[in-house]
A = this chain, B = another copy of it.
Amino acid sequence: MSLIVMKFGGTSVGDIDRIKNAARKVVAEIQRGHKVAVVVSAMAGATDQLIGYCRSISPRYDQREHDAVVSTGEQVSSGLMALALQQRGLNARSWQGWQVGVHTDATHGKARIADIDAIKLRKSIDAGEIGVVAGFQGVADDGRITTLGRGGSDTSAVALAVALKADRCDIYTDVDGVYTTDPRICEKARKMKCVSYEEMLELASLGAKVLQVRSVEMAMRYRMPVQVLSTFANEIGSDLPGTLVAEGNKTMEENPVTGIAHTRDEAQITLTGIEDKPGMAAKIFGPLARAGINVDMIVQTASSNGVTDLSFTVSKLDADRAVKVLDDEKKAIGFEKLASLREMSKISLVGIGMRNHVGVAATMFETLAAKGINILVIETSEINTSVLISDEYTELALRSLHTAYGLDKA
């Protein structure tokens, strides 16, 4: 008898009918003979409404009170899910973060889970109860409610699966798995049956929105198998209908590229004519960090006559502020010219197989060149190769690369 943690996101519990539908998924697992713990997000829209209340009282609200207010979203859906399960004849009860013992640090609004004292919950499950746990929330040492930040319910679910020593954590969402690339852009995209933790982490970090990065990190650290699957599809007979994120050794001899991720809304900022001497990077990136601006890809051209150029990317939303910060520091940095390009896109190939294959990047450059797509920045790591291109080529690049790496549907 396996123990499975089933997590339902905001759209999956978006209204009463959807909560009832999600309850049917739980019934199906119970009928397969599994024990189940359920983790729920807030009903879609509830969290935004609650944050809106806080903002309309004070734009810079106390995060501790924000957490007390916003955590009610999951409290409501946990109670309603327990009722929906009872209505289907199951023995179910809700558990709030503080009732389970989801202990977090005191970083309200984006707390990190320290440990979960799941003994009471595990006993209740072993006694035949279905525990419905409010996701996204925990309790700090001082007894105050914390929230884990956006997407935190995925992390709650994986952490709970680890604490309960569950056999698997199933993340029910509005897509039916992880695809080789965005299926809304590339109709030949294939749903993957399996993807390794490492690949999933890269895909999530590089723009695939299906799983929250923190939850993948946690799954990888504790080797907890995670399945991504749809709340709305009616799979019958299939035991693992979604995408399983698990140990990755099976893909060693397979295609070097597993999937292609992308992020739009990138901006590139280039400083030209800066002196090539130690300490320059600190002068440039220090003020940006203090302004809370995340910098992503960084490239520096080879120095010529002691002078060099430096390019990096930031989110398009931060571009104006970044330009202003650097202009204010122009004297201190001593650059000649500042140029910025908006409407950029980052395309990333991800695959464990890259470690053992040569020529993966070369195929990328050739494919993009053949379509007349200019590459502005290149960045590589052990299992990903990313390029920055003009946003208008995003769809063309994704489709061409998908075909070039043999990822199209059979």
Contact = CB atoms under 8 A, between A and B. Distances in A.
A contact patch SS: helix
A102 to B, nearest CB: 14
Contacts of A80: 53-54, 57, 65, 69
Contact of A76 (B53, B87, B94): B53
Q: Which 9 A-B pairs have the closest CB atoms?
A: A72-B72, A69-B79, A68-B79, A65-B79, A58-B87, A57-B83, A65-B82, A16-B56, A68-B94
Interface in A69-85: 69, 71-72, 75-76, 78-80, 82-84
A212 interface: no
Interface of A: 16, 19-20, 50, 53-54, 56-58, 61-62, 64-66, 68-69, 71-72, 75-76, 78-80, 82-84, 86-87, 93-94, 96, 98-99, 143-145
A334 to B, nearest CB: 44
B72 A68 contact: no
Nearest to A71: B75
A348 to B, nearest CB: 40
B19 A57 contact: yes
A234 to B, nearest CB: 21
Contacts of A64: 93
A177 to B, nearest CB: 29
A125 to B, nearest CB: 16
A166 B305 CA distance: 79
Nearest to A87: B58
Contacts of A53: 16, 76, 80
Contacts of A62: 82-83, 86
A371 B31 CA distance: 72
B68 A50 contact: no
Nearest to A56: B16
A65 B50 contact: no
A248 B275 CA distance: 87
Contact of A96 (B16, B68, B79, B93): B68
A24 to B, nearest CB: 13
Contact of A86 (B58, B99, B144): B58
Max chain B C-beta neighbours (<10 A), residue from A76, A99, A143, A144? A76
Contact of A54 (B66, B83, B98): B83
A96 B72 CA distance: 11
Contacts of A56: 16
Given A54-B83, A69-B80, A75-B75, 12 more contacts: A50-B76, A54-B79, A57-B80, A57-B84, A58-B87, A61-B83, A65-B79, A65-B80, A65-B83, A68-B78, A68-B94, A69-B76
